[in-house]
Structure 1
Amino acid sequence: MARSEALARERTARAALREAVDDLRDAEVRAGAAPPPARWWRWAAVVAVVLSLALAGWGIARWSQESGRTSDAEYERIATDRVTLLLSPDYRQPGRAQRILAGATGEFYDEFAQSADAYTTFVKSRGTVAEGTVDGAALSGRTSGGATVLVAATVRFTGSPDNRSQREREQAFRLRVLLTDSDGGPKLAAVQYLP
């Protein structure tokens, strides 16, 4: 029992000491002898934590938004690939029209799908062999769902070895290509020939 009484007296003494120290501090503050207790660092810590969390949230949101976007260079590469395929008909590759359609969407897909069989038949009947080369491509505009790319290309027509009546020739093209983002990546949505 003596031990519990000693602990109780010690607790009472500590509480009285804390109360006395608080009273002394209050008296010094009222008298102007001591500055008020510094609690600003607690507020500074709270503000720093809140700002850090807000900045981290903004960074994560920005990163997730940017990670899903296609870069300008990627749009240019995709436009180059699609235009090269489009401007390189070859009667020896009857599945080329389907490859063009696989990389197309929207209005261009609808229009080309209607004439894909006629395209394949025409290329085969003429024995057409051509090699399209993109001389340059540059992004001219972006939207949230795609991009417009200007493409300069040259097509070298060689014809088939069986049809010597077709002479070799080259033709330059300038195109405005609209790429639209879709589930499988950007696809060709429109092609406009520029004079």
Structure 2
Amino acid sequence: MADDDDTSAGLTPETKATTRRRASRVAGPPAHESGEVSASSVAAPPRAASPESDAASPSGESVASGVSADASTEDTGEGGSGTPVRPARSGLRRVWAIVAAVLIVVLLGTTGWLLVKQNAADDRDAQRNAFEQTARQTVLNLTTIKPDTAKEDVDRILAGASGEFKAEFDGREDPFVGVVQEAGVTTVGKIIESGLESEDGNTAKVLVAARADVSTPDGTQNGPRDFRMRVTVTDDGGTMTASKVEFVP
């Protein structure tokens, strides 16, 4: 009878089955509303973007521009102030320029000081040489006297004498010349060696070794005579004179 009712209602068996399936689905809430999670609803992990896609996408362009902006900020200095490194290099060059200038001043000062010292040393050496040459000439004059030139020989000795040495000839020049001429003795001296013994300001003592070849009229006293003398030389405003002469044994 039930079948008759269904048939009478115009329902075929296929329609009936379909109606039952729909009723069973409608009877309960959908799967996503009931809170049940199906395997297909679990989201897959995000796929890493390839360089090609990043470069092609607008977002990739913004990231690249951000990186370049950060790099430019780091290159320009601390804090991204945009200050270039060039001023620091110019400051370093200024420091080196100052150091070089100081070194030049020091070198010039040192060179000037060395020149002054060298000039002073040269002047001192020249004075010492003059002391020694004056002493040598004095001894050579004393040991070279001839009867026919005795007056000139004595005058030559007195021209280079001063002080105590010159005082020894005061009033004795003529008697000395007379004795030489009367005796007829000829002496010809030569300097063997000399050296500066001491120096004190404008005065120096020089040791001179000399040899005089003596000739007498009768020849009885002919021969060399060796002498050793200490000559005190005084520099009087650039004029060198023998102020004292003494024999040294």
TM superposition score normalised by structure 2: 0.55
Q: Which residue of 1 aligns with 2:214?
A: 157
Q: Aligned residue for 2:222?
A: 168
After TM superposition, the structure 1 = structure 2 runs for residues 32-71 of structure 1, keeping only pairs within 5 Å, are 37-38=91-92, 39-69=94-124, 70=126
Give me the whole-angstrom Cα distance separating, in 2, the residues matched to 1:91 and 1:157: 12
CA separation of 1:88 and 1:58: change in aligned 2, threshold 3 A: same
Q: Structure 1's 50 and 123: CA in aligned 2 closer, same or farther, altered over 3 A?
A: same
Superposition RMSD in Å = 3.3
Q: Secondary structure at the match of 2:229?
A: strand
Measured after TM superposition, the shift of residue 35 of structure 1 is: 6.2
Question: Where does residue 132 of structure 1 map in the other structure?
Answer: 189
Q: Which structure has the highest helix share of the two? A: 2
Separation in 2, partners of 1:184, 1:86: 23
Instruction: Report the TM-score when normalising by structure 1.
Output: 0.67
SS at match of 2:148: coil
Structure 2: distance between partners of 1:189 and 1:170: 27
Structure 2, unmatched stretches of 5+, are 1-75
Q: Confirm or deny: 8 A CA contact 2:130 2:240 kept in the other structure.
A: no
CA distance in 2, matches of 1:95, 1:184: 25
SS of corresponding position for 1:100:
helix
**Matched residues, number:** 166
SS at match of 2:236: coil
Indicate whether 1:182 and 2:236 are aligned.
yes
User: In the alignment, is residue 86 of structure 1 matched against residue 163 of structure 2?
Assistant: no
The percentage of counterpart residues that share the same residue type is 27
Q: Out of 169-178 and 60-69, give the one that drifted further.
A: 60-69
**1:67 CA displacement:** 3.9
Answer with 95-104 or 139-148: which moved more. Answer: 139-148
Amino acid at match of 2:115: I
- Tell me the CA shift for residue 175 of structure 1: 1.0
- How far apart are 1:74 and its partner, in Å? 5.1
In 1, the alpha carbon distance for the partners of 2:248 and 2:179 equals 24
Q: Residue deviations 1:34-79, cap 9 Å, x none?
A: 9693243233133223213322331332243234332655544442
Structure with the bigger RCO (C-alpha within 8 Å, sep 6+) is: 1
CA distance in structure 1 between the partners assigned to 2:239 and 2:78 by the alignment:
70
SS in 1 for 2:225: strand
- Max Rg structure: 2
When structure 1 is superposed on structure 2, of 42-51 and 88-97 the one drifting more is 42-51
